[in-house]
Amino acid sequence: MDRYDSEEKILDFIIKLNAAIANVRLFPPTHHSVVDSIESAYAGLTGILNRYPRLALIAVGDDLVANSSRLAAGPGVSRLVVLLREKAIDNLTFLRGIKKESLRELIEALALHEAVPVRGNAWVKLSRIEGAGGQGSPADSGHGINGEAYDLDQDLEPLLAARGCMRKEVKNVYERVRHNQDIEIQALEEIISSFVYGPTWMVNPLYLLADVKSYDEYTFVHMVNVCTLTMSQAESLGFKGKPLRQIGLAAVLHDVGKLFVPDEIINKPGKLSPEEWEIMATHPLKGVGHLMKLSEMPKLAVVCALEHHMRWDGQGYPVVEEGWKPHIVSQMISVADVFDAMRSKRPYSEANPRQVVLKVLEEGRGTEFNPFLVDNFLKIISRF
């Protein structure tokens, strides 16, 4: 199913959903118009969910975004956006495995003219987006509209399992790099692909971040977290499929050069001396040198290993010619890298409070970081 075929099927489902809601308002539950229209909507939805694990419909102003893509304007889209606004819903997500009864209950709730709260279930998730009238944040709340709790265990279970697999694979990759052995890019990409349909469609990426439990695992956990945050931002900007997987790969490998810096410098709890800092600052070039020797290494991973400490304003390291602008993915990795490093508790330092981390990002807008990416990142981690 290509993009245009997918969009056509989603638009067709929206038309059928609107028709079912209209019929429920007009006829009794057993009327053939109601039964047939719900059956038609269900068939359209399951056809989409056979291809994708979820269908997320998000109202953004007068537009409707489906699975990170803006749908073409039309009467069906406009009608559904108006209805969602009336019901105080900004995000309506259907999960694969939905039962016809669950869809029928949703349609009946949407059809009510009264201001009755619409509630989700195991296969239908409802929420408000932060900044559109909702309250709370992922740091302190796992609730949708009207205080309805998400079934986070059910939503996150496959993603958390994939995260565990990725951490093991990243550790294996870094050990192989440390011993100058080749790595299996395809195997790592396959694990990364498990996240493609997760972070931005429904799950706030903060729910997927792992904590460091031991001194030795910080590097691997940090790489997985940076990968998760970067892919979430990239997916929100429209990256999909293989390009998105390669972004995840670049994020996982961006700090590989630190393997060639002495451990006593990497793990030093205090401030580095000028001499130590000079050695630390070589790690981007060391990473590039190693990645370029590996077979089938995507160019993007090499570029990001070089640029992830280059600032938006041209400062940072390594020093390059004037006017050099880091790749957009390098800029995304830079934001995710700083955020996770500051929020993580390490064996020799406590985690920074959330507000301190956010203040660093906000103060770095336009200097250290791309201001658009900072704003978009903060929006992503403040949802639901």
pLDDT per residue rounded down to tens, the chain (384 residues): 445 468 889 999 999 999 999 999 888 889 998 999 999 999 999 999 998 888 989 887 778 888 877 888 888 898 999 898 888 888 899 999 999 999 999 999 999 876 667 888 888 988 754 433 333 333 333 333 233 333 444 455 666 666 777 778 888 888 888 888 888 787 788 778 766 544 444 566 776 777 665 555 777 888 889 998 999 899 888 888 889 889 999 999 999 999 999 988 988 878 899 999 999 999 999 999 999 988 789 999 999 999 999 999 989 999 888 888 899 999 999 999 999 999 887 655 678 888 899 999 999 999 999 999 999 999 888 754
Cα 195 to Cα 39, 282, 333, 354: the distances in Å are 32, 31, 16, 24
3-class SS of residue 4: helix
φ, ψ for residue 271 (rounded to 5)?
Answer: -70, 140
Quote the pLDDT of residue 211.
67
DSSP state of 345: -
φ, ψ for residue 125 (rounded to 5)?
Answer: -110, 135
β-pairing verdict for 63-66 and 54-60: antiparallel
Residue 289 · residue 305 · CB < 8 Å: no
Provide the residue type at 243 as one letter: P
3-class SS of residue 282: coil
Quote the pLDDT of residue 348.
59
Quote the pLDDT of residue 263.
86
Taking the C-alpha atoms of residue 289 and residue 293, their distance in angstroms, rounded to an integer, is 7
Order of all β-strands in the sheet with 54-60: 69-70, 63-66, 54-60, 91-95, 124-127
Quote the pLDDT of residue 122.
81
Quote the pLDDT of residue 171.
83
DSSP state of 367: T
Taking the C-alpha atoms of residue 156 and residue 112, their distance in angstroms, rounded to an integer, is 31
Distance of CA 316 to the CA centre of its chain: 27
Taking the C-alpha atoms of residue 135 and residue 348, their distance in angstroms, rounded to an integer, is 35
Omega before 318 cis (within 30°)? Answer: yes
Quote the pLDDT of residue 295.
79
Quote the pLDDT of residue 277.
94
Please name which of 317, 300, 315 lies closest in space to residue 252, comparing C-alpha atoms. 300
Crossing angle of helices 218-236 and 371-380, in 10° steps, is: 100
DSSP string, 143-190: B-GGGPBP-HHHHHHHHHHHHHHHHHHHHHHHHHHHTT----HHHHHH
Quote the pLDDT of residue 323.
83
Query: Quick check: pTM over 0.85?
Result: no
Q: With left for phi above 0 and alpha for psi between -120 and 50, is residue 177 left, alpha or beta?
A: alpha
